[in-house]
Structure 1
């Protein structure tokens, strides 16, 4: 199983996520670095994990405040990595508008369409037709899927090959990974590759997540707090 480090951006800073309660997010205080500046934090996460993929949640864009297109451009210019970017897209047009403003190699950008904000399920097909490789994020809170009725998720025919199972309550909570939801989604996901998110406390949690059949897990707090030893989870070249 691959560990994918997460960078949450808000008001120009990397911030620490707390149960998806964004009003509580504050600039990151990390044992890995002495800054909350996005590039510095990104470098520290990549150095700690050996990862070549970075997941970014642009919370400014998700909250319809100032997005971080300039910061993401700088990250892509400075780092030889792939960025998975969740910026609260409602449809393909909103995704394309932001991507067009990120003036760099778009081949290294992967759009994450989260059900929390998505209103048009055709967005993923349109992104694929435009040459992107979109990922669907099934966003859950309090045991329920957060989804607009217009983007019904019971029909998996429009799901892409990679699907994130996101449990916002577990993010930054140190309560363990939500393996029950992974199991429930797997029962309907067919051949989709599942990626977990949230809850990792330690190496035992990573091992349990790997046994769930997830191909990767999104991790932030446990990396910043040095609660996990990552050598066995380093992304292969």
Structure 2
């Protein structure tokens, strides 16, 4: 039996609206236009995603939080209502233990900490100590460069049980996943679950990353375009 791949839809929110992410160039993100939803409201988009597949996880990139404009705290209850059985992974630019505690106050929340938001390893250790089992580390890359303290990439002992490999310049770019980097992280992860983010275009890409030991994928564009279908999800996600 082939390994089940955990497919996690991504919702990027800026100023209360879902936006279409492209290559990590956040200043140029526009409100999303998608056949899954009549509006760019987070709740409407989440309900549209729920019509495709009963996703058990949803990834929220709170771009206002990441860029220091304040968190979209009202969005989490909306998403939870639209996908009542889903665990919501939240990246809100968390860079301190107090900020982590605020995100984790929502019972459905799993905290995602991007290395681009971490100043030092010590800060990371303080954050992850708040709730190790509910914290995911995102190893962030742009144009081949690692974003964050180098020790976070060099020392896998710092990684929690779930790790995202986020290739920002491949997000929405239709370029395919960064297979070489994913292979390198999987080889060093020592049994941790590794998730691909950025570049997944279609079912073939899902099969390719599963074949190298990746446990899951964060996806947006391919779901909205229909290049990954409900039938694909049923087959590859095993439910």
TM-score (ref. length: structure 1): 0.90
Which sections of structure 1, spanning at least 5 residues, go unmatched?
101-105
2:99 to 94, 97, 103: 94
Measured in 2, the distance between the counterparts of 1:89 and 1:186 equals: 25
The alignment status of 1:168 with 2:173, answered yes or no, reads no
Local SS of the residue matching 2:101: helix
Structure 2 distance, partners of 1:76, 1:228, is 23
Quickly say closer, same or farther: Cα 1:53–1:22, change in 2 above 3 A: same
- The Cα shift of 1:77 comes to 4.0
Is the 8 Å Cα contact of residues 124 and 160 (structure 1) preserved in structure 2? no
Q: Report if the CA contact (8 A) 1:31-1:226 is conserved.
A: no
RMSD, aligned α-carbons = 1.8
- Contact kept, 8 Å, 2:90 with 2:103, in 1: the verdict is no
* Structure 1 residue 78: Cα displacement: 4.5
Q: Note the residue ranges of structure 2 that are not aligned, 5 or more in a row.
A: none
Partner of 1:139: 140
Could you give the per-residue CA deviations for residues 192-219 of structure 1, whole angstroms, max 9, x where no partner exists?
1101111122221121122121111000
- Higher mean alpha-carbon deviation, 185-194 vs 5-14, is at 185-194
Report the CA distance between 1:124 and its aligned residue.
Answer: 4.5
Q: Tell which deviates more after alignment, 165-174 or 42-51.
A: 42-51
Mean Cα deviation higher: 117-126 or 190-199: 117-126
Listed one character per residue, the Cα deviations across residues 155-200 of structure 1 (whole Å, up to 9, x for unaligned) are 2222111100110011010101111110111222112110111112
Q: Does 1:84 align with 2:89?
A: yes
Cα separation, 2, equivalents of 1:134 and 1:99: 9
Aligned runs of 1:213-228 on 2, under 5 Å? 213-228=213-228
What is the distance in 1 between the residues matched to 2:225 and 2:29? 16
> Where do residues 72-221 of structure 1 align in structure 2 (5 Å cutoff)?
72-80=76-84, 81-100=86-105, 106-119=106-119, 120-128=123-131, 132-148=133-149, 152-221=152-221
Q: Aligned partners of 1:153, 1:213: CA distance in 2, in Å?
A: 19
What's the TM-score once normalised by structure 2's chain length?
A: 0.89
How many matched pairs? 229
Which of 2, 17, 34 is the matching residue for 2:38?
Answer: 34
Aligned to 1:103: none
- Deviation at 1:115? 0.3
